[in-house]
Amino acid sequence: MLSLLASDAVAQSGANSVNPATPQLKTVQKPKIKKPKPLRTELSGGLRLNTDGWSIFVDKGWVRSEERYSDLFYNVRLLQVEFTEKKHPQEIKRTNTLGAYTEDKPRPFIYGKINNFYALKIGYGGRKMLAGKPEPTNISLHWVYVGGLSIGFQKPYYIDAYVVQDQNGTIVQETIKYTDSTKQPFLTKSQIIGSAGFSKGIGEVKIIPGIHAKTGLHFDFAATKHGKVAIETGVGFEYYTSKVELMANKEGKPMFVNVYASIQFGKRW
């Protein structure tokens, strides 16, 4: 009886023992592949040339969706800050070399200009991809739209001119802006010396609030997903609460419509 129990124990022990000659199968865990962090934000700036002036601007963008095109900025919310100067088509910079009272070195001026006009614009909108990609090196085409508030700054334009002071014909040099009393020397080319400089008139700036909107086509040339290189072209609209006066003998207007082209550079992360 004891011999049978002993033999069973030996057999069981042999069955549970590991034969060192037998190869063992090991469980291999595959390393987790860490996906790159999706791009969600864009920051860029650039220069815009308008048919009625120029602008510099900064764009901040956020991806709106988790679609498979999110890294290509398929649908983006935009916050735009822009500073612009308005110019009249008849603005021509010149120097006076013909008048009897001109200096040896006359200073450049814009004949007939009565005000400088600048605007700070803050807008919100979007940009939606229409075609292009999916490879980052390909060009993509987007529709862009922005609208918001404008704060206009109208500054008097001063010139230095020779002015007849009294009935005796005494002539003195004065720094003048366009008014009813200075209209004659302001618009007489032979009496103009030149511009009085940008700083003259800053303390007389008039603030004119307004609104603006624009829409256009945006072409993205960025070679990588983290870069931003683009050109844009479209149509802009601005409306102010009072007329903007730019030139003498030209009626001011509160509304501007222009065609623009811009270039911008930036990054995405």
Residue 152 lies in a domain: yes
For residue 242, being part of any structural domain is answered with yes
**pLDDT band at 16, cuts 50/70/90?**
low
Residue 106's pLDDT band (cuts 50, 70, 90):
confident
pLDDT band at 110 (very low <50, low <70, confident <90, very high): very high
Per DSSP, the residues of 208-250 read: EEEEEEEEEEEEE--SSTTEEEEEEEEEEEEEEEEEEP-BTTS
- Residue 29 in any domain: the answer is no
Residue 1 in domain: no
Give 47-102 pLDDT, tens digit per residue: 999 999 999 999 999 987 665 555 666 789 999 999 999 999 999 999 887 654 55
Average pLDDT value for the chain? 86
Q: Which helix (H) or strand (E) holds 166?
A: none
Domain that holds residue 170: 37-268
Q: Which class for 254: exposed (0-12), middle (13-18), buried (19 or more C-beta within 10 A)?
A: middle
Contact between 72 and 64 (Cβ < 8 Å): no
**Does 28 map to a domain?**
no
- What pLDDT is attached to residue 69? 54
Higher-pLDDT residue of 235, 30: 235
The number of distinct structural domains making up the chain is 1
Q: Is the pLDDT of residue 142 over 50?
A: yes
Q: Rounded to two decimals, what is the model's pTM?
A: 0.82
Beta bridge partners, 126, equal 77, 145
| In a domain? residue 32 | no
- Structural domain contains residue 18: no
Judge whether 21 lies within some domain: no
